[in-house]
Amino acid sequence: MNATAGFGTLLEEELAALEAAGLRRACRACDGPTGPRTRLGGRDVLVLASNDYCDLARDPRVVRAAADAAARWGAGSGGSRLITGSQPPHAALERHLAAFKGTGDAVVFGSGYMANLGTVAALCGKGDAILSDALNHASIIDGCRLSRAAVTVYRHGDMDDLARALAAVRGARRVLVVSDAVFSMDGDLLDLPRFLALCRAHGAVSMIDEAHATGVLGATGRGLCEHFGCGRPDVLMGTLSKALGSAGGYVAGSRALCDFLRNKARSFVFSTSLPAPAMAAADAALAALEAEPERAAAARGNAAFLVAELAARGVAAATQSAIVPIPVGDEAAAVRASERLLAEGVWVPAIRYPTVARGAARLRASVMSSHTREDLAFAAGAIARALRG
């Protein structure tokens, strides 16, 4: 056996182990645009799996902006912004994001993942301390690891535990406290007023990840600060790839913060900037959201309606956002329920370890502004049947 064959065997064995544990995953073929309905695995399905909460990915204004930008600026940007230059669509989007979030500036990254990775690792290093919620997104966790700072993980959503952890920090140069705004697998919210008060009291830098908050929370979809009507954290991170219907990530904050990240965040410095069509699409999506803020409330209202329809069928679920997790527990049972739903033409993915803890598998429905009440009532019935097996 040569070395390459040995390597292949090793990978096959690891995949077989995943399979045996009910944890092997695959990308299903999706033969249609994202939206409340599409074709998945060769069948027409009602989709409760997209983060395109406000239906902006296929919005004609957004699509047109992307097409026009491709024609004018090209399909690729040619290099990183520090080397090749910053095209007008990038600067325009950053100004627009800063205005939308009410900050001095904003900086765009290749993805939300890259924004978290680069920002956390740029803000903290050896000798610093990071306090991170137990259910934070993987990109925050990876940024913490990359930073080589001392990381304390506090209990999910537990501000008393965060207070204890802050009081226990000794001799750190800088302290960063970081949390999802909407927790991506549970749909619950950070208690931002208490979070900010604790950070202020301890002189810590505050950072929130608004991947599932922007376009969903607050009267006009501006996110968690608008939802609570409170002040802003030092660092507001978000993504362009969910409610903003495009691709990319961003950080909004002071001009000093954004300039610092343009100099120090390695995922910004050492990566080709996103193509202009993605920038122009996100810019147009922001404008659409500003013109039609009711989209955010529609997505939230649909999620609340789905929760009520599930409850009426004896299925317990809760949400404070557009994400509706339906607890199952066992990994294989969650996958079976998801397969049964797909057979009924409803796509609700099963979420398992390592995305959530072992034994905490669930169905995770995400709801869009364009789902109809009939869609959601039908989905609730199908979910209840799938869980009864």
Give kind and range of the element (H or E) at residue 366: strand 361-366
Smallest distance from ligand PLP to CB 140, Å: 7
Under rule CB under 6 A, how many of the chain's residues touch ligand PLP?
A: 14
Q: Is 350 helix (H, G, I), strand (E, B) or coil?
A: strand
Whether omega before 354 lies within 30 degrees of 0, making that bond cis, reads yes
* Closest chain position to ligand PLP (CB): 112
Binding mask 63-102 for ligand PLP (x = CB under 6 A): ----------------------------------------
Among 87, 111, 119, 321, the residue binding ligand PLP under the rule CB under 6 A is 111
274 binds ligand PLP (CB under 6 A): no
Smallest distance from ligand PLP to CB 346, Å: 22
Q: Which is nearer to ligand PLP, 113 or 305 (CB)?
A: 113
Catalytic residue among 96, 137, 227, 242: 242
Q: State both tokens at 87.
A: 């095209």
Active site residue 77: no
Smallest distance from ligand PLP to CB 184, Å: 4
Which region, left, alpha or beta, applies to residue 106 given φ > 0 means left and ψ of -120 to 50 means alpha? beta
Q: Which is nearer to ligand PLP, 117 or 284 (CB)?
A: 117
Among 90, 101, 212, 352, the residue binding ligand PLP under the rule CB under 6 A is 212
Query: What angle separates helix 138-147 from helix 112-123, to the nearest 10 degrees?
Result: 30
Smallest distance from ligand PLP to CB 139, Å: 5
Binding span for ligand PLP by CB under 6 A among 55-63, 205-213, 306-314, 342-350 = 205-213
Give kind and range of the element (H or E) at residue 239: strand 235-239
Q: Of 337, 334, 388, whose CA–CA distance to 362 is shortest? A: 334
Q: Which is nearer to ligand PLP, 185 or 386 (CB)?
A: 185
Binding span for ligand PLP by CB under 6 A among 160-168, 208-216, 284-292, 370-378 = 208-216
Active site residue 101: no
Catalytic residue among 96, 101, 137, 212: 212
Kindly write down the DSSP assignment for every residue of 141-188, as one continuous string.
HHHHHHHT-EEEEEPTT-HHHHHHHHHT--S-S-EEEEEESB-TTT--
184 binds ligand PLP (CB under 6 A): yes
Q: State both tokens at 348.
A: 């609700």
Among 116, 273, 321, 369, the residue binding ligand PLP under the rule CB under 6 A is 116
Catalytic residue among 50, 132, 184, 370: 184
Spell out the residues 6+ positions from residue 372 whose beta carbon is closer than 8 angstroms to its own: none
In DSSP terms, 327 is beta-bridged to 362
186 binds ligand PLP (CB under 6 A): no
Q: Of 160, 120, 158, 162, whose CA–CA distance to 137 is shortest? A: 120
Active site residue 184: yes
Cβ count near 196 (within 10 Å): 21
Q: Which is nearer to ligand PLP, 183 or 387 (CB)?
A: 183
Strands across the sheet containing 350-351? 323-329, 361-366, 350-351
Kindly write down the DSSP assignment for every residue of 41-108, as one continuous string.
TTEEEEE-----TTS-TT-HHHHHHHHHHHHHH-SS--S-HHHH---HHHHHHHHHHHHHHT-SEEEE
Among 147, 241, 267, 302, the residue binding ligand PLP under the rule CB under 6 A is 241
Identity of the residue numbered 118:
G
HSE-up of residue 11 (Cα within 13 Å, Cβ side): 6
139 binds ligand PLP (CB under 6 A): yes
CA distance 54 to 295: 6
364 binds ligand PLP (CB under 6 A): no
Among 59, 94, 128, 180, the residue binding ligand PLP under the rule CB under 6 A is 180
Among 133, 209, 283, 331, the residue binding ligand PLP under the rule CB under 6 A is 209
Q: Which is nearer to ligand PLP, 142 or 330 (CB)?
A: 142
Residues in contact with ligand PLP by CB under 6 A are: 111-113, 116, 137, 139, 180, 184, 209, 211-212, 239, 241, 249
Positions annotated as catalytic residues are 184, 212, 242
